[in-house]
Every structure is written in C-alpha cells, then in structure tokens.
A and B are shown apart, each in its own frame.
Chain A
Amino acid sequence: MTTFGWIDPVLRSARPQAIGALLRYFRDLDQAEEAFQEACLRALKNWPVNGPPRDPVAWLILVGRNVALDDVRRRSKSAPLPADDAISDLEDAESDIAERLDSSHYRDDLLRLLFICCHPDLPAVQQIALALRVVSGLSVKEIARAFLVSEAAMEQRITRAKSRVARADVPFETPGAVERAERLGAVAAMIYLVFNEGYSASGGSVHVRTPLCEEAIRLARLLLTLFPGEPEILGLTALLLLQHARAAARLDADGAIVLLDDQDRRLWDRDLIAEGFALIDKAVRHRRPGPYQIQAAIAGVHAHATSSKDTDWSEIDQLYATLERLQPSPVVTLNRAVAVNKVQGPAAALAMIEPLAEPLAGYFHFFGVKGGLLMQLGRANEARVAFDQAIALAHTTAEAAHIRLHLDRLIKESQPA
C-alpha cells in the first residue's frame, strides 16, 4: 500500500452514489460519468496535498458538477473561469451540500441509477454489463474479460445499452412508495443476475468468476445500507453471502466442479456464513417471507450442516415447497427433487422431475440431475442418454468435464469385472 493508497478505495466506493447524484443534475448518463471522472482526477491532485475531505462523496459531487458547469461557461466564453484554488477549498460548500444530500436523497439517486441499468428492454447480459460499467466502475476491458468477448464487442454492447436507456425516460422526480418498491424489486433481481453470472458462468473455460460475485455482494450491501429494514434485501444479501462462502470449495485445484456432497467444508468462509445468518435473523423478525429469504434459509441449512449426510434434507424439501408456492418455476421444482431424492429416494425424485422434461428441455442441470437419478436406479442406458444431453447443453468446460466423469463411471461399471 502506497502512502496515498487510501484514495483508490474511496473513489471506488464513492462512485455509485456520486454518479447517482450527478445523473440527477445532468439527466444524462454520459455527462454524469464524465463529470465524475473529472472530479476523480481533481481528487487525485488535491487530496494528497490538502488531505481527505470530510465527506468525499459530497466533494466529488460538488466538484463534478462545478467542472461540468465550468465547461458550459467555457464554451459560451461569457463568465471568467474560476481559479483552480477556488474549488480546492470546499470546506463550507461541502458541508452545505452534505446537508442537502441527506440519506433519503442519496437513496433515491442510487436506486434510480441501478434501476436504469435494469431496463426491461435490455437483455440480462446487457443489464449486468451496464451496471458493472456505470455503477461499479469496472473497465470495459475487465467486463469483456468476464464475459469472454473482445473489448470492442463489449464496448459496442455497453454503448448500445446506454442509448437504449437514454431513450427510456426514467422519471427523475422522487418516486412514490409503490414505484420505489418496484424499482427495488427490479434492482434486487439485477444484483442476483450479476452474482449468478459470477457463481456459475454462462460460458467459457472459467466456471466461477469471483470478482462478479464480490461485486454483487458489494452492491447488495450498499442497497441494504439504504434500505436496512427490507426483509427481501436482507434475504438477498444473506443468500449471496452464504453461497459465496462456498466459493473456495466449489472447484478443485484443476478447476473441476466439486459437488456440494463432496466439498471440503473446512474451506467454507465462516465469516461470510456468520454474517449471512445474522442477516437472516434480522429478516425473520419482520415476518414477511419472500423468495430471497427462503433461498437464503436453504443455503443456511447447508451452511449449518457439517456434512451432506448431516444435512436436514427434509427441511430443505419443505423450504423448496414454500418457494414453489411463492414463485412457481420448473427450476425450483428441479432443485426440490434433489432434496426429495435424499429424503424419499431416487424413484420419487424422478417422478417429480418427469413433468419438467418439456419446460427444461434446454437446461443443462435438468439432464445432469435426471442422469444422476437414473444412475442410482441402475438404469444405466437411460442415464447415459441423459448425460449425453447434458454435455451438449453445458455452458462451461467445467460443466462438461463434470458430466463426463459420470459417463466414465457408467462405462467402467458396465464392463464385466
């Protein structure tokens, strides 16, 4: 860490709220980003000399706004330019803006910024890319690497996404309660997408992308700071923490997938698990269950268990049943079948997933689970067919390699000893 190593994390963490506020001033995403960029450059020059401002976010917003206004003046050549010193001494102006930008303002600014990124017209990948670029401040290069596309292709995707949201006309007035709740729901879903993209990559040779998971957790925590009493945001954050706690155990040294049953649970991050439980405890007190809280509870049951054998699978079965009622989806049923297999055996689980064949015809995990159940039932030929289908649908080389292991075992077992 260099002498001024503290500046980078401060700028990074100030970004979402500063851009959110600048967006409210300029009503233009590009202009807000440019103003923030300029403010950061000034901070890098000014802060090492004058020390950190009392409220870095307010400083950046004020400077960003002033710089942009200067720019307008410069172009019109009317007013004389203020000396750079004038904006470097911000103590008074800063405390003034800090008061006006109270937490409720910050809250709606940030929510609006996140909400713009999850415009329903944007495909999921573009939503994620836009949020990572604009809100998290990842470089196009970093995002391109995460999605395994060229920098130029990602640049184009983000530009396209930006022009799409520019036409979307998101209102800048302070939202009403219903609108705020809708925005919050959409933003939570987007953060979950970011995490999922990191947790189980949609393509390529890298199966887990830790930076995306960490970024999603950072966004969830940020959202939770602004909405501390929202049980579903508590649930979402807990879910991400509990899932991410297993990251170190999910792949072996060669990058091959290690299933939950076989994971070395000593590698699970106990700090993240403890924090996840603390958030679940808080959420439960509200007595307003929702899908994220239930999924967090399921992850919590796993986190509690010292081994797969000690896992309370009937509790998991029941939690999935509740989730099915709240949010019916074939994927939820498929996950429930895994628990049913542990409680009632493979025949019951297979019967449960049979109706899913059509809706999940293109889903890798459906054929993976189906193959596994058939294998347990000794129906080797059918299992092989299912595994072959799974490999054809695998998104990452790790997924394909994992299924191939099962196939190898089937072939080995079918050969006479």
Chain B
Amino acid sequence: MKVGLFIPCYVDQFYPGAAIATLRLLEKLGVDVVYPPKQTCCGQPMANSGFEHLTGGCNELFIKNFAEFDYIVAPSGSCVLHIRDHLHDDKQPEAATSISHKIFELTAFLTDVLKVKTLNARFPHKVGIHQSCHGQRGLHISSMTELVSPEFSKPQSLLNMVQDIELIHLGRKDECCGFGGTFCVTEEAVSVKMGKDRVADHLQHGAEYITGVDMSCLMHMEGILKRQGSKVKVIHIAEILNGG
C-alpha cells in the first residue's frame, strides 16, 4: 500500500510539527508513505469564496501529484472534504473521481483503513476535543448532536488509546469555532465571537490543551488564546497520537 501524504498549505507553512507528527505516525504504523514535493493547496480558499471556477490549476496539479497512490492521507478534515466534494477536471474526469474516493482524513484512515486498535502514546494532560465541522458534518468522522443516530467519534476512539490522557466534557460539544476560511476576516466580528465562545467552553471545563483534526480551527482558537494571555495550548491530534 503506497500512501501519498497531502499536507495543507497553511500546515506546511505555519505548523510543520503537525505534518511531521502525521508522517512519523504513519511510518510507525508501517505505512509506505511519500510526500510529493510539488504540492501546494487543494483550492478550497478560492472555492469557498465563490471562485471555484479559478481552481482548475490547483485541481490539475493535485491530480498530477497524487494520481499514482493507493491512498492519500491528510491531517485535515476540511481539505479532504473539499477534494472529495469538489475536485474535478474535465480533461481527466476518471482520475479526479478516483482521487476523491481514495483520499482520507488522518483519523478516519487510522480507524477505517489501518484499523488501529492500540497506540504507543502517552499524553498526561486534560484535553478538550474540538470537532471541526467539515470533518464531522462533512466526512462523518463523528456523530452529530443534531441527528438522532448512535454516538461515535473516530478521533475520540483514537485518543482513548492514549495513556494518561483525560478528555474533558464540553457544554456544546460540536459547535463551530467560527474560522470558516475567508469568513475569519470578512466576518471578523462574528468569527472572533464564535472563537471566544468556543475557547471559553474549553477553559471553563479545565482544558490544558485543545486538540482536533484541523489545524485551521486550532490556529483561529490559538490566536484568541494568545491574545487573552492564556497558557492553554492547541495541538493537532497527530502530535498526541504520535507519542506526545
């Protein structure tokens, strides 16, 4: 099984630690994983702003970089959802469809493809899980409070394998943090208020770390935590699962 590692552009540039942890975790689990060096971005920032018609170049490049792999794994629910739902290329429609079927968000890849049952990791801290919307409501990596359906959570099932971790309960367990891509600057007031409220929920319930599958949501909450002078940190789930 040959896996192509897709690292979202902002993770590559601002959070290399999350990317390294993802790579090392997959290597530890015996996966033959390669990072195609010429990758950039999935095109979501343009598409969500209404410019999907300008994403042709990104799509073509994405297909070129990843068509050869059995699976594509990314430490992000949001970018994976974008590829699944919107990757298209009129010149090579089959390649595009094939990619949208073999791309996985990291935790879903661990639980559904690798069927991971144990992890050699320890993280002796109180941790709050942020359910990033695109992973949850888009990729269905966790059950959703709106729906009448059995409860499950792929990220939480993995965190439960980590030694000495204490997962906290939240008042609102799956409310959006307000990042929303370009929404975070075009609707600055509401975006920040949503972020402050989400952070407050974690703080009230004693979190030392806020984790999640999407660094973008965590970057937004980190910005708020730092501005408040809080000692609480954000950490990508890959970094906890990789050993802590």
Same complex origin of A and B:
no
Binding site for A on B (CB under 8 A): none
Binding site for B on A (CB under 8 A): none
